[in-house]
Amino acid sequence: MIQTALWLPRGMHERLKKDGGERGLGNEIRRLIEASIDAAETPKDEITSELLDQIKEIADRSFAEPWHTDRFAFDVFKTAVNTLLSSRQPSGEVRPETKAKFQATWGEENPETIGRMIARLAMVAYARERLGKALLGNKAFFDKLKELRR
């Protein structure tokens, strides 16, 4: 890492310091800069945004029980999500260049296997992020960490 200095308005400095909490001001600034860069680099995909909104709508409004707490509710939710996906399935044949791009990254696998690998990576990344947030909000964890550093 490279250290740098920048001038901040007093109010912004106080807010960043407060929002950073135990992580600290520097980590909060880095987190916000990384999020901004990631957001700027992420292409806007209206179709995917719409699909995610519809899935959220199904999860929020359509069940007597949350979809993840009961097998029947899960099967209903899964069918609803699959129906949404099927309604957006591209017509026509697989384009060879698209297949080549996926297989260059994921190996000579079929779409189902590649999809499972991508889903598992997403689950692991999300779990790591949740664990990190949990640890950051845990004063006892930081106290123990400080104790171990001595």
* Residue 38 clears pLDDT 90, i.e. is over it: no
* Span 99-111, average pLDDT: 92
Instruction: Report the pLDDT value the prediction gives residue 34, as an integer from 0 to 100.
Output: 86
Instruction: Report the pLDDT value the prediction gives residue 98, as an integer from 0 to 100.
Output: 94
Instruction: Report the pLDDT value the prediction gives residue 138, as an integer from 0 to 100.
Output: 67
Instruction: Report the pLDDT value the prediction gives residue 1, as an integer from 0 to 100.
Output: 80
Taken in order 3, 6, 12, 13, is the CA torsion positive or negative? positive
Concatenated DSSP letters for 54-113? HHHHHHHHS-SS-TTT-HHHHHHHHHHHHHHHHHTPPPSPPPHHHHHHHHHHH-S--HHH
* Span 68-82, average pLDDT: 93
